[in-house]
Amino acid sequence: MNAVGQPGSLIDRFVARFIDGIIVGVAGVILNIVLAFMSDSWLLTGFISAVATAALYLGYFAYLESSRGQTIGKQVMKLKVFGPGHVSNPTLEQAVRRNIFTAFGIAGVVPIIGAVLGGMAGLAAVILIVVNINSDPQRQHWFDKFAGGTQVLKVG
């Protein structure tokens, strides 16, 4: 079965990522509040929080894209991620590779400066993604290519 549809536009993909960011962000805030109440050590809480939040973000995108081809945001925006060749969803490995930048917050394990470093790495990744999507005829970003050629297509 071949995929039908045009490459997803930058605006549609941004809105989908924004919706997903709200969903995962709310879950992350709840997780971090629970973690803060469980430990008296800000150092331990910060370490566990950085690891858990990175796993939450990466897990959300990788699991939903590999199992359904769509996150909730992509479903709302009628976008779907296809693996190389457009014949199926990406594999879990491909989905992890195309979304690895969502885990850059793991740098937060480094006390004091880690959150800043992770934030800067995430910002650099987003800038790279926007430039790539805007300039690539297939609307693939560097992480799509790193994943072996995954692609986001408009399916509705």
Tell me the pTM.
Answer: 0.90
Q: What is the pLDDT of residue 4?
A: 65
Model pLDDT for residues 68-107, shown as the tens digit of each residue? 999 999 999 999 999 998 889 999 999 999 999 999 999 9
- Residue 79: strand pairing partners: 154
Least Cα distance to 146 among 135, 156, 132 occurs for 132
Please count the CA atoms within 13 angstroms of the CA of 23 that sit on its side-chain side.
16
Model pLDDT for residues 97-147, shown as the tens digit of each residue? 999 999 999 998 998 899 899 999 999 999 999 999 999 999 999 999 999
